[in-house]
Amino acid sequence: MKLLSTAIEDVKLIEPRVFRDERGLFLESWNARAFAEVGIDASFVQDNHSRSVKHVLRGLHYQLPNAQGKLVRVARGRAFDVAVDMRRSSPSYGHWVGVELSDDNQRMLWIPPGFAHGFLSLEDGTDVLYKCTEFYAPQHERSLLWNDPALGIDWPLDGGIPQLSAKDAAGVRFADTEAYP
């Protein structure tokens, strides 16, 4: 496994070893020992699986309290995955990082607790899987406005308009959000 840096020090891009042959491929999507060796020592309590058509945008979500760390991967299709630093004491507070995850590159994104998370499906039938370090708690969920000009997230919409849930369309501007200490 190879650990790659992103624009935010604590968010890591992971390239697992992928074994491909005429039958298909094999990779380890989680190995506690291997991840701990590269500094990701997480205990996961919940796995989520989302399937989306092209231009579905889910997020940007975070929980306060009960911050969730997430290990995100795409099993089928392509997605642009985004993490926004919501930790007020962080030097990267209010900054974002976005990467393309796909069934072709098999990369994973480690998003530690204290970040808002969202993704844009870039193909029909995109399956996003993510492991969480805390249980989903709807009473603690917050939604950050996906297109807040203060964040300036460069979503690869190619002139399209994203499909949003009512909750995501009503997200709060970054300046008005609650943040982690």
Domain boundaries, the chain: 2-176
> What is the per-residue pLDDT for 181?
85
Q: Is 49 a catalytic residue?
A: no
φ and ψ of 139, to 5 deg: -70, -15
The fold adopted by the segment(s) 2-176 is Jelly Rolls (2.60.120)
**Of the residues 61, 62, 117, 180, which is catalytic?**
61
> What is the per-residue pLDDT for 160?
84
**Of the residues 55, 62, 117, 130, which is catalytic?**
130
> What is the per-residue pLDDT for 20?
92
> What is the per-residue pLDDT for 61?
98
> What is the per-residue pLDDT for 82?
98
Q: Is 61 a catalytic residue?
A: yes
Return per-residue pLDDT of the chain as tens, 181 residues.
Answer: 999 999 999 999 999 999 999 999 899 999 999 999 999 999 999 999 999 999 999 999 999 999 999 999 999 999 999 999 999 999 999 999 999 999 999 999 999 999 999 999 999 999 999 999 999 999 999 999 999 999 999 999 988 899 999 999 999 999 999 889 8
DSSP 111-140: E-TTEEEEEEE-STTEEEEEEESS---GGG
